[in-house]
Amino acid sequence: MTVTATRSEDTGNLPARPAPRGVPNPRIPLPVVSVPTVLLFTGGVMVWTGATWLVVTEAASLWVTMPLHALVTFTMFTVLHESTHHAAGQLTWVNELLGRLAMPFVASYGSFPLVRYIHLEHHRNTNEDAHTDPDAWTAHGPWWQLPLRWLTIDFWYARFYVARQRTRPPSERVETAAVVALSLAAFAWLASTGYGWELLVIYLIPQRVGLAVLAWWFDWLPHHDLGARRQDRFGATRVRVGLEWLMTPIMLCQNYHLVHHLHPAIPFYRYLRIWKDNRDAYLARDVPIATAWGRELTSSEYREWRQLTGSLAEEPPAPQPPRPSLFHSLRVAEVRPLCEGAVTVTFDVPERLRETFRFTPGQHVVIRAEVDGEEVRRAYSICSTPESGVLRIAIKHQHGGAFSTFATTELAAGDVLDVLPPDGMFTLTPEPGRTGRYVALAAGSGITPILSILASTLLAEPHSRATLLYINTSGASTMFADELGGLAARLGGRLHVVHYRTDERDPDLRRQRTEKPFDTVGEALAISHERYQRGRLDGTRLRALLQARLHPAKVDDWFLCGPRELVDMARRTLADKDVPEENVHFELFQGALPVRPSRRPGPVLTVTAGGKTAEIPTTAGETVLSAALRHGVDTPYACVGGACGTCRASVVRGSARMDVHYALAAEEVAQGRILTCRAVATSDELSVDYDR
pLDDT of residue 520 exceeding 60, the answer is no
CATH code, residues 601-689: 3.10.20.30
Q: Do domains 437-588 and 601-689 have the same CATH topology?
A: no
* Contact of 501 with 533, CB cutoff 8 Å: yes
Using 50, 70 and 90 to split pLDDT, how confident is the model at 308? Answer: very low
Q: Helix or strand or coil: residue 265?
A: coil
CATH architecture of structural domain 437-588: 3-Layer(aba) Sandwich (3.40)
Which has more confidence, 117 or 602?
Answer: 117
Region of poorest pLDDT, from 298-302, 324-328, 516-520? 516-520
Give pLDDT, residue 12.
Answer: 40
* Contact of 385 with 453, CB cutoff 8 Å: no
Give pLDDT, residue 25.
Answer: 66
Region of poorest pLDDT, from 307-316, 424-433, 569-578, 647-656? 307-316
pLDDT tens for 99-127 read: 999 999 999 999 999 999 999 999 888 88
Region of poorest pLDDT, from 219-223, 245-249, 281-285, 529-533? 281-285
pLDDT tens for 176-193 read: 999 999 999 999 999 999
pLDDT of residue 595 exceeding 70, the answer is no
Give pLDDT, residue 413.
Answer: 93
Which has more confidence, 629 or 551?
Answer: 551
DSSP H helical ranges for 474-563 = 481-490, 507-511, 521-527, 539-547
Mean pLDDT of 341-351: 93
Give pLDDT, residue 135.
Answer: 92
pLDDT of residue 664 exceeding 90, the answer is no
Sign of CA pseudo-dihedral 208, 211, 216, 220? negative
Sign of CA pseudo-dihedral 505, 507, 513, 516? negative
* Contact of 89 with 35, CB cutoff 8 Å: no
**Spelled out in words, what is the top-level CATH class assigned to the domain 2-16+324-419?**
mainly beta
242: left (phi over 0), alpha (psi -120 to 50) or beta: left
pTM, to two decimals: 0.53
Using 50, 70 and 90 to split pLDDT, how confident is the model at 27? Answer: low
pLDDT tens for 42-94 read: 999 999 999 999 999 999 999 999 999 999 999 999 999 999 999 999 899 99
CB crowding 219-239: b at 16 or more within 10 Å, else e: bbbbbeebebbeebbbbbbbb
Using 50, 70 and 90 to split pLDDT, how confident is the model at 24? Answer: low
Q: What's the burial of 280, exposed, middle or buried (CB within 10 Å: 0-12/13-18/19+)?
A: middle
- Show the 3-state SS of 149-193: HHHCHHHHHHHHHHCCHHHCCHHHHHHHHHHHHHHHHHHHHHHHC
pLDDT of residue 522 exceeding 90, the answer is no
Q: What's the burial of 49, exposed, middle or buried (CB within 10 Å: 0-12/13-18/19+)?
A: exposed
Give pLDDT, residue 192.
Answer: 95
DSSP H helical ranges for 507-582 = 507-511, 521-527, 539-547, 564-576
* Contact of 461 with 436, CB cutoff 8 Å: yes
Which has more confidence, 22 or 487?
Answer: 487
Q: Which residues contact 676 (CB under 8 A, 6 or more apart)?
A: 623, 624, 625, 628, 635, 637, 647, 648, 649, 688, 690
pLDDT of residue 244 exceeding 70, the answer is yes
For the chain, the structural domain boundaries read 2-16+324-419, 35-231, 437-588, 601-689
* Contact of 386 with 456, CB cutoff 8 Å: yes
Q: Of 28, 137, 47, 152, give the one whose Cα is nearest residue 90.
A: 28
Give pLDDT, residue 78.
Answer: 95
Cα distance between residue 546 and residue 569, in whole Å: 14
Give pLDDT, residue 313.
Answer: 43
Give pLDDT, residue 307.
Answer: 57
The letter for the amino acid at 279 is R
